[in-house]
Amino acid sequence: MNRREMLGLVIAAPMIASSVVSAQSLKDMAGALKDPLISMLTSKLGLTDQQASGGMGSMLTLAKEKMPAGDYGKLTGLLPQASKYLDSAKQQGAVTGPLKNASGLNGALSKLGMNADTVKLFVPTVADYVGKIGGEPAKNMLLAALK
2-6, 26-30, 79-83: least confident range: 26-30
d(CA 52, CA 70): 25
Whether 42 and 91 share a structural domain: yes
Residues 71 and 104 in one domain: yes
Specify whether 114 is located in the same domain as 57. yes
Q: Which helix (H) or strand (E) holds 133?
A: helix 116-134
CB burial string 29-45: b at 16+ within 10 A, e below? eebeeebebbbbbbeeb
Same domain, 45 and 6: no
44 shares a domain with 25: no
Residues 52, 28, single domain; the answer is: no
Could you write out the DSSP letters of every residue in 61-78? HHHHHHS-HHHHHHHHHH
Whole-prediction pTM: 0.78
Give the domain range for residue 124.
35-145
- Give the count of beta carbons closer than 10 Å to the beta carbon of residue 90: 15
Report whether 122 contacts 59 (CB < 8 A): yes
Q: Tell me: do 28 and 76 sit in the same domain.
A: no
**Domain check: are 11 and 46 in the same one?**
no
Clarify whether residues 105 and 63 are in a common domain.
yes
pLDDT confidence of 2, banded at 50, 70, 90?
low
pLDDT (tens digit per residue) in 74-124: 999 999 999 999 999 999 999 999 999 999 999 999 999 999 999 999 999
Number of domains, the chain: 2
76 and 130 fall within a common domain: yes
Burial label for 57, CB within 10 Å (0-12, 13-18, 19+), is: buried
Q: Are residues 24 and 40 in the same domain?
A: no
Is the domain of 20 the same as that of 57? no
